[in-house]
Amino acid sequence: MRYDIISDTHGYLSPELLRALEGADIIVHAGDICSESDYYKLCDIAMVHACSGNNDYAYSYGPFVSRLTRFYSEGHRWEICHYRERLDLETCEIAICGHTHKPFVERDRRTGVLVMNPGSPTFPRSVGPTIGRIEIVDDRVETARIIRLDEGD
Q: What is the pLDDT of residues 100-114, one digit of tens each?
A: 999 999 999 999 999
Residue 153 lies in a domain: no
Q: In what side-by-side order are the strands of the sheet with 130-137?
A: 47-50, 26-29, 2-6, 130-137, 140-148
Element (H, E) at 39: helix 36-45
| Position 150 confidence tier, pLDDT thresholds 50, 70, 90 | confident
Domain of 143, CATH number, reads 3.60.21.10
23-75 confidence digits (pLDDT tens): 999 999 999 999 999 999 999 999 999 999 999 999 999 999 999 999 999 99
DSSP state of 66: B
Side-chain-side CA neighbours of 82 within 13 Å: the count stands at 18
Give the residues across from 77 on adjacent strands: 72
So what's the pLDDT on residue 153?
A: 53
Least confident of 68-72, 75-79, 91-95, 148-152: 148-152
So what's the pLDDT on residue 152?
A: 55
Distance CA 141, CA 124 (A): 26
Residue 9 contacts residue 124 (beta carbons within 8 Å): no
DSSP state of 17: H
So what's the pLDDT on residue 151?
A: 75
Domains in the chain: how many in total?
1
| Position 7 confidence tier, pLDDT thresholds 50, 70, 90 | very high
Q: Average of pLDDT values for 84-94?
A: 97
117-132 confidence digits (pLDDT tens): 999 999 999 889 999 9
Q: Average of pLDDT values for 134-152?
A: 93
Parent domain of 35: 2-148
* Residue 71 to residues 93, 110, 121, Cα–Cα distance (Å): 11, 22, 24
